[in-house]
Amino acid sequence: MLNLSLVIPLFNEDESLPELESWIAKVMQTNNFSYEVLFIDDGSTDKSWAVIESLIQNNPNVKGIKFRRNYGKSAALNIGFAESKGDVIITMDADLQDSPEEIPELYKRITEDHYDIISGWKKKRYDPITKTLPTKLFNWATRKMSGIYLHDFNCGLKAYSKEVVKNIEVYGEMHRYIPVIAKSAGFTKIGEQVVEHRARKYGTTKFGLNRFVNGLLDLMTIFFMGRFGKKPMHFFGVYGLLSFLLGFFIALYLLVDKMLHIMHHQKAPLVADSPFFYLGLVCMIIGTQLFLAGFIGELVSRNSGERNHYAVSKKVNMD
């Protein structure tokens, strides 16, 4: 059994790979770790894959997976998690901004302190303000919505117990929210460690402001799926019912009001002349639509292959 699996997604990082692999090998040898390095080439258009193939020839601990096109970091991490064999899985970026010297302490926090996840915190950053400011806003919003008080959710340098990565699925742009996904699966012992952030030595950053917007949308998705993914009717049904009842009571009030006018031989106002009529009508329509959305969500959920997928902590005497 391997001590460590290092999962390293990359896109056009051919210049940094030899130095990174050499640095990792030195740290592993110094600490007597048995390990594997999984380089996940996310559709690079430079010489990254050729470099990985040469590294594999020189180091049997190095493995490589190449995508036919760029699928994104989440897809790379997901396949890396599936293929990893180590007791502890550590993810890091391939641009040399994450230091392999942090690996022994991360490994210790998982194996000896028994954390499920240790997330890196780049307390001192060397990124431009166009990247650091959106990141701070993003981290603040994530802390508030998830209840996980980490300073740096987006840090690529993280350590996981094997049980965590084998029980979660990362897709879309959800790699930023792996601690949130893990918490919703029952892995609540999540810690943090201050790590060194190094200035980029080669290439250019892949960060764009569109990722910040997408990140907030993904956070809302994670929040909803974590609470209502397996029971959508509990969300849509409740709000649909409340909306429909509000519209129904508004319509009932208008009907009673008109009946009272008729009983007292007064000229009854036209129901359609009241703005409350349209408010009630809209509320009932929206309520019906929300209820139907919940019903359709239940049908989809009950026919999903993941409907009974749960993270099991232990099994005793099951033979």
Single residue among 228, 262, 280 that ends a domain in this structure: 228
In a domain, 173, yes or no: yes
Q: What are phi and psi for residue 306, nearest 5 degrees?
A: -100, 10
Give the chain's domain count: 2
**Residues in Cβ contact with 110 at an 8 Å cutoff, skipping those fewer than 6 apart:** 88, 116, 118, 159, 160, 161
* Residue 251 and residue 220 share a domain: no
* Residue 106 and residue 189 share a domain: yes
* Residue 241 and residue 212 share a domain: no
- pLDDT score recorded for residue 114: 93
* Residue 254 and residue 158 share a domain: no
CA distance to 9, 76, 81, per residue, from 170 (Å): 13, 9, 9
* Residue 200 and residue 139 share a domain: yes
User: Residues 43-62, buried b or exposed e (16+ Cβ, 10 A)?
Assistant: bbeeebbebbeebbeeeebb
In a domain, 14, yes or no: yes
Single residue among 202, 228, 254 that ends a domain in this structure: 228
Residue 109 and residue 48: Cα distance in Å, rounded?
32
In a domain, 25, yes or no: yes
* Residue 237 and residue 224 share a domain: no
pLDDT tens for each residue of the chain, 319 residues long:
789 999 999 999 999 999 999 999 999 999 999 999 999 999 999 999 999 999 999 999 999 999 999 988 889 999 999 999 999 999 999 988 889 999 999 999 999 999 999 999 888 776 666 666 777 777 887 787 778 888 888 888 999 999 999 998 887 777 888 898 888 888 999 999 998 877 767 666 655 556 666 666 666 666 666 666 667 787 888 888 999 999 999 989 888 888 888 888 788 777 778 888 899 999 999 999 988 888 887 777 666 555 444 455 444 544 5
In a domain, 47, yes or no: yes
* Residue 57 and residue 185 share a domain: yes
Judged on CB neighbours under 10 Å (0-12, 13-18, 19+), 265 is exposed
* Residue 135 and residue 48 share a domain: yes
In a domain, 71, yes or no: yes
* Residue 210 and residue 99 share a domain: yes
- pLDDT score recorded for residue 166: 92
Question: Which one, of 195, 179, 193, lies nearest residue 126 by Cα?
Answer: 195
Single residue among 212, 228, 244 that ends a domain in this structure: 228
Residue 273 DSSP code: G
- pLDDT score recorded for residue 308: 45
In a domain, 208, yes or no: yes
Q: What is the CATH number of the domain that holds 23?
A: 3.90.550.10
- pLDDT score recorded for residue 208: 54
- pLDDT score recorded for residue 302: 65
Greatest C-alpha distance within the chain: 99
In a domain, 309, yes or no: no
- pLDDT score recorded for residue 299: 77
> Domain residues for 55?
2-228
Average pLDDT in the chain: 84
* Residue 258 and residue 154 share a domain: no
Beta strand 158-161 pairing with 117-121 = antiparallel
* Residue 290 and residue 256 share a domain: yes
In a domain, 196, yes or no: yes
Residue 87 and residue 110: Cα distance in Å, rounded?
9
Residue 283 and residue 276: Cα distance in Å, rounded?
10
* Residue 242 and residue 201 share a domain: no
- pLDDT score recorded for residue 218: 67
Which amino acid, one-letter code, is at 27? V
59-94 residue pLDDT tens: 999 999 999 999 888 899 999 999 999 999 999 999
